[in-house]
Amino acid sequence: MGTNIYSTPLKVALFIPCYVDQLYPETGIATLQLLEKLGCEIHYQQNQTCCGQPMANSGFQHLTKDLDQQNQSYFEDFEYVICPSGSCTLHLKEHVFEGKTKVYELCEFLTDVLKMESLEAKFPFKVGLHQSCHGLRGLQLAKSSELVSDRFSKIEPLLNMVEGLVISYPAKIDECCGFGGTFCVSEEAVSAKMGQDKAAEFEAENVDVITSADMSCLMHIDGVLKRKKSKIKVMHIAEILNGAVL
Amino acid sequence: MSSREEILGRLVSLKSDTTIGLSIRKMSDISIPTFDTDHIGDPIEKFKEVLDELHTEVLEVNNLQDIAAFVLDKYSGKRIVSAIAIEGLGDSETWKTLDPHDLQDVEFALFEGTLGVAENGAIWLSEAQMGQRVAPFICQRLGIIVKKENVVPLMHHAYKALEITDMGFGTFISGPSKTADIEQSLVIGAHGSRELFVFLV
Amino acid sequence: MKHAELAKKLTNDTARTDWHNNSIWWQREKRDKAAFGIPDWELLRSTGSAIKDHVLDNLYDLLLEFEKNAILNGIKVHWAEDIVEHNEIVHSILAMHKVKKLVKSKSMLTEECGLNPYLEKYGIEVIDTDLGERIIQLRHEHPSHIVAPAIHLKREEISDTFHECWGTEKGNSDPQYLTEAARQSLRQDFMTADAALTGVNFAIAETGEYVVCTNEGNADMGAHLAPVQIACMGLEKIIAKREQMSVMLRLLARSSTGQPITAYSSHFKKPRKGQELHIVLVDNGRSTHIHKPKFRASLKCIRCGACMNTCPVYRRSGGHSYHVTVPGPIGAILAPNKDLKEYSDLPFASTLCGACSNVCPVKINIHEQLYDWRQEIGMAGHVETSKKIGIKAMNFVLSHPKVYDIGSKIGKTAISILPFAVNNSLNPWYKSREMPEFPKESFKDWYKKNR
C-alpha cells in the first residue's frame, strides 16, 4: 500500500460531514480505510454531527454557538483532523476552530502531511475531475483558473497514482457546479441549470465517472445525471484512492 | 450645515478610527513596484505589434514629407488639418481657433504625440499638441506622429515621463474608436475616428 | 420580486440562457488572455488593491486635496448628499444655461440617481451617447451589465428598435450597419447639444484632474463641443497620485473586456477656453458604508465588471434579476448597505464559489462579504420565515447528538438536515434532479459495528 513517511502510527481524528454520514457512508468508510492502510491511527468522535455550514451559510452563524463549542471540544486534542470534504474543512478552519485546531481536507493531508508518492489502486476508467470551489479557492487544493500563477494541484497527482486512470477536465475547468448548500433549493432554477451545464460538459468528455473531493457537489451532479438517465457514475475521490471498483 | 460639511463631517473620524483595521495609512506605505518589462521585449516592435492588433495602420517613415505625401495621396480633395506645419498640408494654425463645431467636416487630422506605450499601443496627446480638444475625435481619420525614441514599455514609464503642470487636457489614444455593444461583435469606428494611422519616425 | 423569481425570466428560455451565458463567459476568456499576458499580473492586482485601501483610509484628506486643486484648475466643485441633491445640482446648472439638450456618456452613478427621468420632467432632452446605453434608452429598459448595458439583447432586437426610431432598414441586423446608423444619429446630437455630462473613472487628488475612459470616443465628442460640461462621481472614485493611474489603467480594461486599454483615456484638468466645467461629488450612503469594517472594501470597486463576467449565477440569471442599478457579485455587496430588507435576496444569489474575488482587479473580498451580509440579514430577521424555521430545526438536531442519533435510526435525520428539507413547498430539488438514495446504514452505524 502507499508510503507513510512516519515510523509510528500518526494519530488522526476523522470529521465526517453530516450528509456523508447519512447519505454517503461509503465515502467515510473509504476515507477511514485509506488512512488506516497508510498507517494512521484513526479516532472517530461518535457524538459529532455537522460542521455548522448549512446554518452559517444561511445567515444563522449566530445560532451555531453550541454546535461550534461541541466541535471545538471534540477535536481540540488532535494534531490532525481530517475531513473528506473541502467545504466542511474550510468552514471549520475559518469559522469554527479559530486557528486552535488544524483541520485538513483529505487530499491536502495525503499530499502535504503524508507526502504520498505511490498508491496501490487500479481504476482503468476515464475520470472527470470536478474541482469543488471551497476546496479549490478556499483551501488552495489547486491553482484556480482565474489566477496568473504557476499551475499546481494536490488532487491530480493522487489520481495519477491510480493504475489505468485517465483524468479529464470539463470545458470550464473550475466553474461552480451550482450546489451551494441551501442555494440548490432557494435558487432552484439557476442551481439546476448550473448542474445541467456541468453534467453536459462531462458528458461531452465521455467520462465514465465523475469524482471530486466534495460529495455534496457530486450529489447535485448525480441528481442531474440520473434525471437524464446517464450512465455516468459519481464517486468521491476517497473511494477511488481506496481501491474501489466501478 | 452645507452638504459639503455634512459629508466631510462623516468622513473626518476615519482619520483616527482604529476599529477599521486596515494597516495602510500613510502615503509612504504605497509605492509602485518595478514591474516586469521582459515580456515586452523590444518596445518599438511590441508597439507596432499591438497597434496592428488594434486595427491601426503603422507606417515607418523617414521624414515629415513622407507623411504629407501619404496623406495627400489618400485624402486630397477632402478637408485635411494638421497641428504641425508640414509643407503641402496647408495652414496649421487658423483652424485651432475656430469654433469646435466648425471641424465637423474634417476628413483627416494629423498630430504629433508625446510618447507611445508599447504594452497597449497608447499614444499621449496633450491639448497643446491637439490644437483644440475636439480635433482628434471629430475627424473621420486620425494620424499621429510618434518618434521611435519616445516609445516606452509600460504605462508606469509613460506617467513618469509626462509633464502635466500646464496641462488643461490630455488623452491616451489607442487605436481607432470602436464598440462591441451589439452582441459583442467588434465594430471599428464608433463616435471617434474610424481609422488611426501611426507614423513612426 | 426577488432574484430567484426574476432569474426565471431568463432560465425559462434555455436557449437564450445558454446564449447569454456564453456571451458573457467570452468576456471572462478575453480577460484571462489579457491577464495571463502580464507575468506579474497578481503584483499589479496587489498594488491596485493597496492604492484603493489607502484611499479608503484617507478619503477625507484626499477629497479636500482634490477639491482644492480642482478649484485652482478652474473646475466648479459641488457636493451632493444624496440622489435628490445630485439631480437638483445637475438640473440647476443646466437650467442656468437654458440647456434644452444634454448628451450623456456612461455613468452608472447617474443611473443610480435616476437622472434621466428627473431631467426629462423639466423638458430637457437627454441623449445617452454610449451605444449600449442609447439602445436601452430607446427601448426604455435598464442596463443589465455595467460595461455592456445591452448584452442581454440580440442584434435582431436592436435592429427592430433602430428601424422604429431611426428608420433604418427593416431586418438589417448587421452590427456594422447598425453602428454606422448610431454614429450618424449621435453625431447630430453631439453637434447640437447645449451641455455634456460624463461619468468619472478616476479623480486624482494630487492634480485636481479626472479621467474618463471610453472606446467609442463619445465622452470626448460631447465634452469638447458643448459649452457646459458636468462630471458626476461617487466619492470613492478618488485616487491619491497621478502615477497611480498607471496601475489602474493597466488593470481596468484588461479586467473588463480583455483589451490592454480603452481607445481613449481622457484626462480633464481645466475647462476648455470659454467652457464651464463642473464636477459633482456624490455621497448617497458612501460616507456611512465606509465605516463598516466588514463591508467598506466594496468601495474600492473600479466598475470593471469582471466579477459579473465570471459569476456562474449572473451569467445564467442576467443583470435585471438583481433588481438594482449595479448587479452581479459587486452589486450584491453594495446594495444591502442601501436597503438591507429590499436587497436581502442578493447575497444569497450566490454559491460563494469565490471566482469573483479572484478576478477583482483591486482584490475586493467579494465572496467573504457575501457571507458576512448573510449574517447581517439573518440577524436582522430578513431571511424568509420558512427557511428560518427549517434552519432552526436543522440546528436543533445537529446541536443535540442524541436527537441526531435517534432520528437517524428512524430515517428522519437525513431528511431534516438536508437542503431539501429547508423549503416547505413541494421539494424544489426534485424539479430537475433525482433524489439521492438512502443507504441501509449510516457511517456511524457502520463504525459501531466494524470498529
The 10s digit of each residue's pLDDT in A132-150 is 999 999 999 999 999 999 9
Give the tens place of pLDDT for each residue, A94-105.
Answer: 999 999 999 999
Q: Are A114 and A38 in contact (CB under 8 A)?
A: yes
C-alpha pair distances (Å), C307 with each of A159, C55, C348, C385: 32, 21, 16, 30
Q: Are C247 and C295 in contact (CB under 8 A)?
A: no
Helix (H) or strand (E) holding C44: helix C41-57
Helix (H) or strand (E) holding A80: strand A80-83
Residue C309, pLDDT > 90, answer yes
Nearest to C137 by CA among C122, C121, C115, C156: C115
Structurally, chain A folds into a number of domains equal to 2
Domain edge (last residue) among C350, C380, C410: C380
Residues of B in contact with C224 (CB under 8 A): 100, 132-134, 137-138
Q: Is residue B6 part of a domain?
A: no
How many C-beta atoms surround the C-beta of residue B13 within 10 A?
11
Task: Give the mean model confidence (pLDDT) for residues B100-107.
Answer: 97
Name which residue leads in pLDDT, B161 or A1.
B161
Q: Are C116 and C110 in contact (CB under 8 A)?
A: yes
Task: Give the mean model confidence (pLDDT) for residues C264-278.
Answer: 97
Q: What is the CATH number of the domain that holds C329?
A: 1.10.1060.10
Average pLDDT, chain C: 95
In total, chain B counts a number of residues equal to 201
* Best mutation target, A35, A60, A65, to test chain C (most C CBs within 10 A): A60
Please tell me whether residues C191 and C49 are part of one structural domain. yes
Instruction: Quote the CA–CA distance of C348 and A217 in Å, as a whole number.
Output: 18
Residue C155, pLDDT > 60, answer yes
Q: Looking at residue C106, what is its pLDDT?
A: 93
Please report which residue ranges of C264-353 form alpha helices under DSSP H.
Answer: 286-289, 306-310, 312-317, 328-338
The verdict on C358 touching B (C-beta cutoff 8 Å) is no
Task: Give the mean model confidence (pLDDT) for residues A207-235.
Answer: 97
What are the grid coordinates assigned to B58, written together?
Answer: 503603422
Q: Looking at residue C359, what is its pLDDT?
A: 98
Residues of C in contact with A138 (CB under 8 A): 354
Task: Kindly write down the DSSP assignment for every residue of C92-109, as one continuous string.
Answer: HHHHHTT--EEEE---HH
Please tell me whether residues C280 and C205 are part of one structural domain. yes
Rounded to the nearest angstrom, the minimum Cα separation between C121 and chain B is 25
Domain edge (last residue) among A112, A139, A174: A112
Task: Give the mean model confidence (pLDDT) for residues C72-101.
Answer: 98
Q: Looking at residue A133, what is its pLDDT?
A: 98
Rounded to the nearest angstrom, the minimum Cα separation between B103 and chain C is 10
Closest residue of A to C318, CA-based? Answer: A190
Which of A46, A55, A172 is closest, CB to CB, to C444? Answer: A46
Average pLDDT, chain A: 95
Q: Is residue A185 part of a domain?
A: yes
Task: Give the mean model confidence (pLDDT) for residues C65-85.
Answer: 98
C264 phi and psi angles, rounded to 5 deg: -130, 130
Please tell me whether residues C196 and C168 are part of one structural domain. yes
Which of C209, C221, C244 is closest, CB to CB, to B138? Answer: C221
Please tell me whether residues C264 and C310 are part of one structural domain. no
The verdict on B32 touching C (C-beta cutoff 8 Å) is yes
Residue C410, pLDDT > 80, answer no
Helix (H, G, I), strand (E, B) or coil at B187: strand
Alpha-carbon torsion, ordered C117, C123, C129, C134, to 10 deg: 50
Residue B163, pLDDT > 80, answer no
Domain edge (last residue) among A79, A112, A145: A112
Contact present, C and A (at least 3 Cβ pairs less than 8 Å): yes
Please tell me whether residues A150 and A88 are part of one structural domain. no
Please tell me whether residues A138 and A228 are part of one structural domain. yes
Residues of C in contact with B4 (CB under 8 A): 79
Give the tens place of pLDDT for each residue, A32-60.
Answer: 999 999 999 999 999 999 999 999 999 99
Average pLDDT, chain B: 93
Q: Looking at residue C422, what is its pLDDT?
A: 57
Task: Kindly write down the DSSP assignment for every residue of B54-110, as one continuous string.
Answer: TT-EEEE-SSHHHHHHHHHHHHTTS-EEESS--TTS--SSGGGGS-GGGGTT-SEEE
Closest residue of B to C223, CA-based? Answer: B134
Q: Looking at residue C385, what is its pLDDT?
A: 84
Please tell me whether residues A64 and A138 are part of one structural domain. no
List, in sequence order, every residue forming a beta bridge with A126; answer none if it has no partner. Answer: A166
List all residues of chain B from 69 to 108 with a beta carbon under 8 Å from chain C. Answer: 100-101, 104
Residue B135, pLDDT > 80, answer yes
Q: Is residue C265 part of a domain?
A: yes
Binding partners of A (≥3 Cβ pairs within 8 A) = C
Contacts for C28 with CB less than 8 Å, ≥ 6 apart: C306, C309, C310, C359
Please tell me whether residues A154 and A82 are part of one structural domain. no
CB contact under 8 A, B172 and C291: no
Closest residue of A to C397, CA-based? Answer: A49
Please tell me whether residues A99 and A186 are part of one structural domain. no
Please tell me whether residues C371 and C396 are part of one structural domain. no
Give the tens place of pLDDT for each residue, C2-21.
Answer: 999 999 999 999 999 999 99
Please tell me whether residues A148 and A173 are part of one structural domain. yes
Q: Looking at residue B23, what is its pLDDT?
A: 53
Please tell me whether residues C303 and C412 are part of one structural domain. no
Q: Is residue C20 part of a domain?
A: no
Q: Looking at residue B101, what is its pLDDT?
A: 97
Please tell me whether residues A65 and A154 are part of one structural domain. no
What are the grid coordinates assigned to B7, written together?
Answer: 459629508
Q: Is residue A90 part of a domain?
A: yes
Q: Is residue B2 part of a domain?
A: no
Give the tens place of pLDDT for each residue, C358-395.
Answer: 999 999 999 999 999 999 999 999 988 878 888 888 88
Instruction: Quote the CA–CA distance of C48 and C35 in Å, as a whole number.
Output: 14
Q: Looking at residue A1, what is its pLDDT?
A: 47
Please tell me whether residues A88 and A144 are part of one structural domain. no
Binding partners of B (≥3 Cβ pairs within 8 A) = C
Residue B164, pLDDT > 90, answer no
Please tell me whether residues C72 and C113 are part of one structural domain. yes
| DSSP one-letter code for A168 | E
pLDDT above 70 covers a percentage of chain A that reads: 97
* Best mutation target, B23, B97, B102, B191, to test chain C (most C CBs within 10 A): B191
Q: Looking at residue B20, what is its pLDDT?
A: 63
Q: Is residue A158 part of a domain?
A: yes
In total, chain A counts a number of residues equal to 246
Nearest to C405 by CA among A49, A44, A64: A49
Residue C355, pLDDT > 60, answer yes
The model's confidence at residue B21, banded by pLDDT at 50, 70 and 90, is low
Task: Give the mean model confidence (pLDDT) for residues C80-96.
Answer: 98
Q: Looking at residue C344, what is its pLDDT?
A: 97
CA angle B72, B76, B78 (to 5 degrees): 130
What are the grid coordinates assigned to C175, written together?
Answer: 452590427
Instruction: Quote the CA–CA distance of C337 and C323 in Å, as a whole number.
Output: 15
Q: Is residue A117 part of a domain?
A: no
Q: Looking at residue B36, what is its pLDDT?
A: 98
Helix (H) or strand (E) holding C209: strand C209-214
Domain that holds residue A36: 10-112
Instruction: Quote the CA–CA distance of C320 and C348 in Å, as a whole number.
Output: 16
How many C-beta atoms surround the C-beta of residue B28 within 10 A?
6
Helix (H, G, I), strand (E, B) or coil at C421: helix
List all residues of chain B from 164 to 193 with a beta carbon under 8 Å from chain C. Answer: 164, 167-185, 187, 189-193
Please tell me whether residues C335 and C361 are part of one structural domain. yes
Q: Are C418 and C391 in contact (CB under 8 A)?
A: no
ipTM of this complex = 0.96
Q: Is residue B4 part of a domain?
A: no
Q: In what order do the strands lie in the sheet with C209-214?
A: B151-152, B115-117, B122-126, B169-173, C264-268, C209-214, C202-204, C238-239
List, in sequence order, every residue forming a beta bridge with C80; answer none if it has no partner. Answer: C282
Contact present, B and C (at least 3 Cβ pairs less than 8 Å): yes
B112 phi and psi angles, rounded to 5 deg: -110, 125
Q: Is residue C289 part of a domain?
A: no
Please tell me whether residues C304 and C427 are part of one structural domain. no
Q: Is residue C13 part of a domain?
A: no
Task: Give the mean model confidence (pLDDT) for residues A177-204.
Answer: 96
Q: Is residue A155 part of a domain?
A: yes
Q: Looking at residue B42, what is its pLDDT?
A: 98
Task: Give the mean model confidence (pLDDT) for residues A182-191.
Answer: 94
Helices C175-192 and C155-166: crossing angle in degrees, nearest 10, is 40
CB contact under 8 A, C191 and B12: no
List, in sequence order, every residue forming a beta bridge with B115; answer none if it has no partner. Answer: B124
* Best mutation target, C398, C422, C448, to test chain A (most A CBs within 10 A): C398
Residues of C in contact with B156 (CB under 8 A): 243, 246-247
What are the grid coordinates assigned to B4, written together?
Answer: 459639503
Please tell me whether residues A161 and A218 are part of one structural domain. yes
Please tell me whether residues C103 and C185 are part of one structural domain. yes
Structurally, chain B folds into a number of domains equal to 1
Rg (CA), chain A: 17
Domain edge (last residue) among C250, C284, C318: C284
Which of C56, C179, C262 is closest, CB to CB, to B182? Answer: C179
The verdict on C49 touching B (C-beta cutoff 8 Å) is no
Q: Which residue has the cell 445567515?
A: A59
Residue A4, pLDDT > 60, answer no
Rounded to the nearest angstrom, the minimum Cα separation between A17 and chain C is 10
Please tell me whether residues A105 and A208 are part of one structural domain. no
The verdict on B18 touching C (C-beta cutoff 8 Å) is no
Q: Is residue A1 part of a domain?
A: no
Q: Is residue C329 part of a domain?
A: yes
Contact present, A and B (at least 3 Cβ pairs less than 8 Å): no
Task: Give the mean model confidence (pLDDT) for residues C100-126.
Answer: 96
Domain edge (last residue) among A58, A85, A112: A112
Structurally, chain C folds into a number of domains equal to 3
Domain that holds residue C397: 385-450
Give the tens place of pLDDT for each residue, C163-178.
Answer: 999 999 999 999 999 9
Which of B13, B170, B191 is closest, CB to CB, to C183? Answer: B191
Q: Is residue A119 part of a domain?
A: no
Helix (H) or strand (E) holding A65: helix A65-75
Which one-letter amino acid corresponds to residue A7? S
Give the tens place of pLDDT for each residue, C200-230.
Answer: 999 999 999 999 999 999 999 999 999 999 9
Please tell me whether residues A171 and A69 are part of one structural domain. no
Q: What is the CATH number of the domain that holds A203?
A: 3.40.50
Domain that holds residue B60: 40-200
* Best mutation target, B179, B186, B195, to test chain C (most C CBs within 10 A): B179
Q: Which residue has the cell 489505468?
A: A164
Residue B24, pLDDT > 90, answer no
The verdict on C293 touching B (C-beta cutoff 8 Å) is yes
Residues of B in contact with C178 (CB under 8 A): 182
Q: Looking at residue C260, what is its pLDDT?
A: 98
Please tell me whether residues C391 and C376 are part of one structural domain. no
Binding partners of C (≥3 Cβ pairs within 8 A) = A, B
Please tell me whether residues C261 and C318 are part of one structural domain. no
pLDDT above 70 covers a percentage of chain C that reads: 98
Nearest to C213 by CA among C199, C196, C231: C199
Q: What is the CATH number of the domain that holds B150?
A: 3.40.50.10420
Nearest to C93 by CA among C273, C274, C279, C221: C279
Q: Are B107 and B75 in contact (CB under 8 A)?
A: yes
Q: How far apart are the first and last CA of chain A?
A: 20
Nearest to C431 by CA among A86, A186, A20: A186
